[in-house]
């Protein structure tokens, strides 16, 4: 499931030198214990084994993920700061916030999809006989 991420990070542009030759900071813009945090921690375990270097999760939560996304956008572009950014930050937040501290089209290089984590509509099973939205 996380193999595409490891493969994406091993692209020739990043792998020119012996990358990584020091720990890589992985910024998450949502609180610990949430789905993005948990999946990022699983991914960093895989990446650490794959590349033989520590991938360290750094939580920068707040403002619907905008604080973490801004930290990634403003990081030194040396390949040692990456982030797991929710599509929420680039699709929904522009409609919710007058201004954002980043431009999703200009400030990020999208290097890999990590997983497909769909949201669903649910109802209490005991009270509603519905099985779909029809």
Tell me, yes or no, whether 111 lies in a domain: no
- Give the pLDDT confidence score for residue 19 in this predicted structure: 93
pLDDT digits (tens, 9 = 90+) for 1-43: 455 555 555 555 554 568 999 999 999 999 999 989 999 999 9
Tell whether 50 is covered by a domain.
yes
**Within a domain: 131:** no
For residue 24, is it within any domain? yes
Residue 113 pLDDT: 85
Tell me the CA distances in angstroms from 83 to 88, 98, 124, 126, 132, one per residue in order: 14, 23, 35, 40, 35
Domain-embedded: residue 120: no
CATH number of the domain at 32, please: 3.40.190.150
Determine the length of the chain: 134
Per-residue pLDDT of 67-109, as tens digits, reads 999 999 999 999 999 999 988 888 888 889 999 999 988 999 9
Q: Looking at the domain assignment, is residue 74 inside a domain?
A: yes
Work out the average pLDDT over 114-124.
78
Interacting residues of 21 by C-beta distance below 8 A, sequence separation 6+: 53
8 Å CB contact between 54 and 23: yes
d(CA 30, CA 40): 11
pLDDT of residue 90: 84
Residue 131 confidence class, pLDDT cut points 50, 70, 90: confident
Q: Of the spans 17-21, 36-40, 111-115, 130-134, which averages the highest pLDDT?
A: 36-40
Please tell me the pTM assigned to this model: 0.76
Note whether residue 12 is domain-resident. Answer: yes
Q: Which domain range does residue 74 map to?
A: 3-96
pLDDT of residue 112: 87
Structural domain count of the chain: 1
Average pLDDT estimate for 53-75: 96
Assess if residue 125 is contained within a domain: no
């Amino acid at each position: 499931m996380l193999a595409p991420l490891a493969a994406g990070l091993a692209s020739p542009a990043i792998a020119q030198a012996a990358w990584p030759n020091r720990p890589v900071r992985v910024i998450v813009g949502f609180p610990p214990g949430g789905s993005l945090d948990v999946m990022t921690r699983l991914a960093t375990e895989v990446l650490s084994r794959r590349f033989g270097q520590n991938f360290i999760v750094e939580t920068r939560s707040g403002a619907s993920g905008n604080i973490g996304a801004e930290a990634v956008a403003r990081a030194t572009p040396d390949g040692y700061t990456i982030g797991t950014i929710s599509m929420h930050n680039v699709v929904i937040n522009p409609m919710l916030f007058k201004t954002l501290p980043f431009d999703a089209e200009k400030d990020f290089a999208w290097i890999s999809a990590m997983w497909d984590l769909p949201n669903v509509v649910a109802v209490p099973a005991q009270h509603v006989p519905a099985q779909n939205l029809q």
